[in-house]
A = this chain, B = another copy of it.
């Protein structure tokens, strides 16, 4: 449909993997690819703002096969999974998912996957961009656990936007409307094995379709596009604008192995009454008792609409450098520049005035509450 993107700009040789939807993304005119979990990731098909508005008003299809899975099976699967995260997985039913953090022994965040429980001793972790398979294998080896750990042939698509439900219903029927948030079902579509979750990275209505046979990626893609046609579906990259409006964090930018849940506002992912031990428990208790030294907070940044930051921008408070902007973007709905800043705890209260050092000069900024768009008080989508 358009000239394919010149892959030699981001690739040399066969080190980086292509997703099962790669040919489709080329055919539909992906204009940029980044790399995520050693795999090529289409990040845009058009203009970012145009893709944002399409997500807000219609429905979008994303190739997020880069959310590689770690599969945990074997007699000690629950034991290991429960050891990897501060959430209490004894409360996660088969057919249910949870947003979790994987924590290191010092409380650092190794990754923030969606965990799905497929069976009593069968888990998937849909990963952000770090090699959790190596972490989990290292831990299991040291602890002598009886588990099988692998990266299965599983490749998610996201279908996101206010018209996502009729699209996914057209494909999978009535089960879709009954699906609760973070739950899933397993099924087939013309014999293509898939798993359908009600999850996503937007704050909009959204589903993920996990393809379980990489050889059928193109077929599944075209089925979703066909089901979406009456609803004006279009392929896009993930929307940073929308996820920042919703207060969603991006591992690697807004949080890393150097941060803990108390710093980045993910303390809800720690079940304080969890009975089983897990990696990082002692460290997290110490951090909670002492209070985190740093805090990730929402900021509004003044001036003209910003280009999204490509590096972390330094932040000053009354002169001295105190922290960094981790993500910053212009919200066309709020008609403001919004983002996150990692700041010393004492600079974190709402109302704190800051100066942001952007590549194009300094800008004034203010700490504000998050999320920027409260899902309970949705502003008009106009």
Counting chain A residues whose Cβ lies within 8 A of the other chain, the interface size class is 35 or more
Q: Please name all residues of chain B whose beta carbon is closer than 8 Å to the beta carbon of A252 when the two chains form the complex.
A: 15-16, 38
Question: Are A14 and B141 within 8 A (Cβ)?
Answer: no
Q: How far is the CA of A16 from the CA of B31 in the complex (A)?
A: 18
Q: Please name all residues of chain B whose beta carbon is closer than 8 Å to the beta carbon of A110 when the two chains form the complex.
A: 134
Q: How far is the CA of A140 from the CA of B106 in the complex (A)?
A: 13
In the complex where A10-B9, A240-B13, A252-B16 touch, is A137 in contact with B137 (Cβ < 8 A)? Answer: no
- Of the 9-residue stretches A204-212, A304-312, A344-352, which lies at the interface with chain B? A304-312
Q: Please name all residues of chain B whose beta carbon is closer than 8 Å to the beta carbon of A5 when the two chains form the complex.
A: 9
Q: How far is the CA of A110 from the CA of B141 in the complex (A)?
A: 14
Q: Please name all residues of chain B whose beta carbon is closer than 8 Å to the beta carbon of A104 when the two chains form the complex.
A: 137
Question: Are A13 and B309 within 8 A (Cβ)?
Answer: yes
Question: Are B131 and A142 within 8 A (Cβ)?
Answer: no
* A259 interface hit (Cβ, 8 Å): no
* A232 interface hit (Cβ, 8 Å): no
In the complex where A10-B32, A35-B35, A104-B137 touch, is A15 in contact with B142 (Cβ < 8 A)? Answer: no
Question: Are B38 and A10 within 8 A (Cβ)?
Answer: no
* A130 interface hit (Cβ, 8 Å): yes
| Per-position binary interface string of chain A over residues 244-277, scored 1 when its CB falls under 8 Å from any chain B CB and 0 otherwise | 0000001111000100000000000000000000
State which of B10, B48, B130, B142 has its C-beta within 8 Å of the C-beta of A35.
B10
| A20-34 interface (Cβ within 8 A of B) | 31-34
Q: Please name all residues of chain B whose beta carbon is closer than 8 Å to the beta carbon of A308 when the two chains form the complex.
A: 12-13
Q: Please name all residues of chain B whose beta carbon is closer than 8 Å to the beta carbon of A99 when the two chains form the complex.
A: none
Q: How far is the CA of A44 from the CA of B10 in the complex (A)?
A: 10
* A129 interface hit (Cβ, 8 Å): yes
Question: Are B138 and A13 within 8 A (Cβ)?
Answer: no
| Per-position binary interface string of chain A over residues 270-290, scored 1 when its CB falls under 8 Å from any chain B CB and 0 otherwise | 000000000100000000000
In the complex where A105-B141, A135-B134, A142-B138 touch, is A310 in contact with B240 (Cβ < 8 A)? Answer: no
Besides the known contacts A131-B134, A132-B134, 12 further A-B residue pairs in the complex with CB atoms under 8 A apart: A7-B310, A9-B31, A10-B10, A13-B308, A14-B311, A14-B326, A15-B129, A34-B35, A38-B130, A104-B137, A131-B131, A139-B141
- Would you list 13 pairs from A and B whose C-beta atoms are within 8 A, ordered by A residue? A8-B32, A11-B310, A13-B240, A13-B308, A13-B327, A15-B251, A15-B252, A15-B253, A38-B252, A130-B131, A131-B134, A138-B141, A142-B142
